[in-house]
Amino acid sequence: MKKLIVLSVLATLISCNKQEEGIDINTLHFSIETPYGTHFITGYEIPFTARDNNGNDITQSVDFFINGTPVQGNTHVFQQPGNYTVTARWNLGGGAVKDADNQITASVIHPRHNTYVVIEDFTGTWCVNCPRVQYKIEQLLAQNTEVYAVAIHDKANQTDPFHFDGVEDLTSTYNIAGYPTPLLNREEVWDEEVASVNAYLSKTKPLGLRVENTFDGTSLNLTVKVRFDMDLQRENYKLVVFALENGLHADQANATNYYGGQDPIPDMEHNHVLRHAFTSVLGDDIPANQCFFDNEYTWTYSGDMPSQIEDFNNAEFIAFVVQGDQTPVIVNAKKASVNQTADY
């Protein structure tokens, strides 16, 4: 009986409408918007919000429609390309409704860019457990060309011939407390399982990158382009560009059964070693006015090959876009070997 009384009271409260509250519904207006402008991609969750003419968020009181079909909640994932009209209706109670003052005419396309994943392996030649992660990364790369590795060496309290001077900015930002730590897309510590990587690869991305470089033995010309599939002016994007080197050799401490269980592993080959950062390791800002549909943001470098590269024939360049403020996560990436162009 008590339950019925409570439900009855709730029903009475819910039935109260704006007119009963003394509000002239003719003065009520609202508009709808999305943070992604009017260009969307399939497979990407698009949120819709509504605000009244006083700036109040009334999203939860509004019903959204796409081409006249109701949307479940206030988000939608478009499955097919095409042109869509998003409208909304505000239920004012007592049978009164109000249509939004505006509508969103959206153009939806399939993503034009593949998704790439980056594993940053925080490691050291002195680290006795690091060969385990290095081995698993090697196996992963052999199976999937859309996974990139960056080996970030830290000498810590030891010595390491491949120590990267900017490592502390990364370890402090991402709370890297021990070695090895493989950081997956700067979003989580990789559990060393292929399934975790595949979960990231299955996500569609709203932008892609192109990396082009030429080196004549003296001068390096490096160009990175970022192309947008959506209007992303409201989000904070940054670009990271690194020079890596393959084929480096040094003895590797080892307490694992990998690589024959030798300790140390003599003259072990180290690949994808971070040698130089052309940008901040946390990324340089991409201007917001560059982050709109079909625009290409261009970053260039012309100068010497980084002095840390021992053999330019083994150099490679990786670029990735990160998004966020405190701990930016990787959105998408692209890598190219020396004198190679890796297109979108």
Those residues whose C-beta lies under 8 Å from the C-beta of residue 341, and which sit 6 or more positions away, are 210, 211, 212, 213
d(Cα 156, Cα 158) in Å, to the nearest integer?
5
Contact 28, 52 (CB under 8 A): yes
How do residues 276-302 score in pLDDT, each as one tens digit? 999 999 999 999 999 999 999 999 999
d(Cα 28, Cα 90) in Å, to the nearest integer?
10
The full set of domains in the chain, from first to last, is 16-109 (2.60.40.10), 117-342 (2.60.40.10)
How do residues 19-45 score in pLDDT, each as one tens digit? 556 566 778 999 999 999 999 999 999
Inform me whether the pLDDT recorded for 14 exceeds 70: no
Strand partners, 323: 237, 329
d(Cα 233, Cα 107) in Å, to the nearest integer?
17
Inform me whether the pLDDT recorded for 108 exceeds 60: yes
Contact 180, 121 (CB under 8 A): yes
Query: In the predicted model, what is the mean pLDDT of residues 308-326?
Result: 97
Instruction: Please indicate, yes or no, whether the overall pTM of this predicted structure exceeds 0.85.
Output: yes
How do residues 150-185 score in pLDDT, each as one tens digit? 999 999 999 999 999 999 999 999 999 999 999 999
Transcribe 296-324 into DSSP letters.
Answer: EEEEEEEEEPPTT-S-GGGEEEEEEEEE-
In angstroms, how far is CA 150 from the centroid of its own chain?
16
Question: What single-letter amino acid sits at 22?
Answer: G
d(Cα 87, Cα 70) in Å, to the nearest integer?
9
d(Cα 145, Cα 257) in Å, to the nearest integer?
27
User: What proportion of the chain, given as a percentage, has pLDDT over 70?
Assistant: 93
Q: Two tokens at 331?
A: 């959105």
Contact 265, 259 (CB under 8 A): yes
Which residue is listed with tokens 């990407």?
Answer: 44
In angstroms, how far is CA 155 from the centroid of its own chain?
29
Identify the CA nearest to 78 among candidates 47, 32, 35, 37. 47
Contact 212, 223 (CB under 8 A): yes
Transcribe 218-244 into DSSP letters.
Answer: SEEEEEEEEEESS--TTS-EEEEEEEE
